[in-house]
Amino acid sequence: MSHDDIILQVRNLRKYYPIEQGFTRRRVGQVKAVDDVSFNLHRGEVLGLVGESGCGKTTLGRCILRAIEPTSGEVHLTTRSGSMVNLLQLNKKDLRALRREMNMVFQDPFSSLSPRMTVLEIIGEPLRAQGVAAAEVESRVKDMAERVGLNPGHLNRYPNAFSGGQRQRIVIARALATGPTFIVADEPVSALDVSIQAQILNLLQDLQEEFNLSYVFIAHDLSVVEHIADRVAVMYIGRIVELSTTEDLYLNPRHPYTEALLSSVPKPDPRLVEDPMILTGEIANPANPPSGCYFHPRCKYAQDICRQVRPELKEVTPGHSSACHFAAELELKGVPSE
């Protein structure tokens, strides 16, 4: 893919939360929730963002959209006009105008919908915020409801009248109402039954093709990410430790943490089931991370350099980057293709 296809460019993004003590609220440290993250997202691409709970995935997604204000860094978005703007330098008025080009699908469809608003009001809210005329709002909401598989005749009902899968369709319709080109999907199927997950994933893929959308797809379930993502970024304690095409990452992981995550993916064929790799030790504390490589206390391959020098994210093979001192030497176990 050429650089002209880049729709999102994240550079050295950080989000640090201060730790304060006492009546004077003296700062005694900081939690590095997102710590120097950089990546590109291409037009029409799905980038999966995976890692254990608490690794900073959701914080990163919200910082990109400025739902949370980052501590530092740059987030460049290519607008419909073709210009690339740094979202972190925009004032509130300019950012509000650009909101129509980016949006978020939240994890929990039960808490992300107001119980006091009808479906028509919920999906139409971002349109009204962008100044769309009332007469046009209703027709556009009906059209979007049909596209996500909702019955337009049910738009005057409240969210409690719908199932979890239907509520997530409402959330998706609201996110797409203004016609964005970029979506952050924050674990959009993790709160749903397994039977419904596939329907929502297929819907997201269909909508991506129809509207030429680009997704940052946040998940902790690697089998879900394998189904939908073109590339995968693996996060550990606020940092990306591996970035690759989905196929290459699953077949040839280049970071021990990725190997451990892949070993926990359920195998459909019982003959392929092996003893999962159990990670020893505690997850690193983002307020007091270990020296060197953050993962070294839990890594069975760790050597002295891992405890002393923090590895940078570097390309090991074309299109495959890893933050491991021994990424080129280690023969790590992936998931065999079916």
Query: Taking the mean position of all CA atoms in its chain, how far away is CA 43?
Result: 16
Q: Is the pLDDT confidence value at 190 over 80? A: yes
Using CA atoms in the order 128, 130, 135, 141, what is the torsion angle rounded to 10 degrees?
Answer: -70
**Predicted TM-score (pTM) of this structure:** 0.90
Tracing tokens 């674990």 back to the chain, one arrives at 187
pLDDT band at 53 (very low <50, low <70, confident <90, very high): confident
Instruction: Say what the pLDDT of residue 49 is.
Output: 96
Domain locations in the chain as residue ranges: 3-229
pLDDT band at 266 (very low <50, low <70, confident <90, very high): low
Q: What is the pLDDT of residues 81-90, one digit of tens each?
A: 889 999 999 9
Q: 49: which DSSP letter?
A: E
For the chain, what is the mean pLDDT? 89
Cβ atoms 48, 118 nearer than 8 A: no
Cβ atoms 290, 79 nearer than 8 A: no
Instruction: Say what the pLDDT of residue 1 is.
Output: 46
Mutual angle of helices 164-176 and 194-211, in 10-degree steps = 20
CA-based nearest residue to 236, from 289, 165, 291: 289
Q: What is the pLDDT of residues 212-245, one digit of tens each?
A: 999 999 998 888 898 899 999 999 999 999 999 9
Q: What is the pLDDT of residues 123-157, one digit of tens each?
A: 999 999 888 888 899 999 999 999 999 998 899 99
Instruction: Say what the pLDDT of residue 269 is.
Output: 60
3-229 belongs to CATH 3.40.50.300: yes
